[in-house]
Amino acid sequence: MTVHLHWFLPTGGDGRTLVDRHAYGPNQAGPVRGVRPPDIEYLAQIAKAAEQLGFEAVLTPTGTWCEDAWLTTVALTQHTERLKFLVAFRPGLVSPTLAAQMAATYQRVTRGRLLLNVVTGGDSAEQRRFGDRLDHDRRYARTDEFLSVVRGVWRGEPYDFHGTHYQVDGGLTALPPDPVPQLFFGGSSAAAGPVAARHADVYLTWGEPPTQVKEKIDWIRSLAEREGRTVRFGIRLHTISRDSSAEAWASAHRLLDDLDADTVAAAQAALGRSESVGQRRMLALHGGSRDELEIYPNLWAGVGLVRGGAGTALVGSHAEVADRIEEYHALGVEHFVLSGYPHLEEAYWFGEGVIPELAARGLVESAPTGAPVLVAGGR
């Protein structure tokens, strides 16, 4: 079993800082140095780099502070040839039949380059911006129905569904998607697990220490077995990989340089209001403190001091980062959805440094052709 490597498209902006200035209040100081707007030219650079370096797909986020994932990625298919796009979307904001039709059209337009990341949503304030007023558990119940309808209408024949949230008569995707997009799904709550077991092709977790990841894998695997299904597993992590461990840790520490106590406190207060169980697990890894941020060898929780979602990074030499990937892989993790700040440069550090390491260990089929290989001291 080889690994599938995916990168990230920062459609909310990119740069050399961890501070999410959009989410924690307006920036009163004017333009911020080193912050890159998510224009199509810059995002195309990242997409092209990911394709050249050997990444299979790029995850594109959804939410208030980023560009629309469907429109952005379909534009980027015109700048790439093989790269797939893991499009994040929120069930409930559009009809499931329409979402199924959109996915089918996307597959035909791009010749099969769509993957779907189902984001139920863990923040009621964010959901209300889009007119959604359901609470946490009811959102997962709606997602369950939504995905039942999507898979039903992809069969290519009229499909009826009568549930609490959706009433569909004769739902139909006249031309079903070919291939059917894989569904990536995450969620750490009791409400999320059964939905993942029934519908996910890949269950995606944020980067917790291996023991905690194994607990999640065992949990979802047992739920899926009861449904007569098999689910694959993925993990969402940042990376800081360098020619030496010392260089990598120096880069990680530099990311903290512009984080004063007030910035961290404001971010932690905002993140602490989230209903997401996964977000609470991320916060528990560091407790809002800069002390002991290396929570497991080469696993650093510094990102989660100020950013929501994936809050941990693999930090170390290329071989050390490959060691951790190999360790997660041994637990059953096949898909690694990675990112770094800035995303263009970090894609090259990982692609030129870690991917050849993984190839040498037989964890990827081969190192990408046409991409230069990074050697120690060569950069």
CA distance 301 to 367: 29
CB within 8 Å of 268: residues ≥ 6 apart: 283, 288, 305
CA distance 318 to 356: 9
Give the pLDDT score at 353: 98
Q: Give pLDDT tens digits for 326-358.
A: 999 999 999 999 999 999 999 999 999 999 999
Give the pLDDT score at 368: 56
Our measurement of the distance from residue 369's CA atom to the centroid of its chain's CA atoms, rounded to an integer in Å, reads: 26
Give the pLDDT score at 372: 41
* Residue that the structure tokens 């050399």 belong to: 16
Give the pLDDT score at 367: 55
Q: Give pLDDT tens digits for 230-268.
A: 999 999 999 999 999 999 999 999 998 878 888 888 878
Which is more confidently placed, 93 or 124? 93
Predicted confidence (pLDDT) at residue 84 exceeds the cutoff of 70: yes
Share of the chain above pLDDT 90, in %: 72
Which of these, 44, 87, 84, 56, lies nearest to 69 by C-alpha position?
87
**Residue 272: band (very low, low, confident or very high) from pLDDT cuts 50, 70, 90:** confident
CB within 8 Å of 324: residues ≥ 6 apart: 297, 298, 299, 314, 316
CA distance 54 to 20: 29
In one letter, which amino acid is 4? H
Distances (CA, A) of 311 to 19, 75, 270, 307: 12, 29, 14, 7
Predicted confidence (pLDDT) at residue 26 exceeds the cutoff of 70: no
Contact 329, 363 (CB under 8 A): yes
When mean pLDDT is compared over 35-49, 129-143, 275-289, the highest value belongs to 35-49
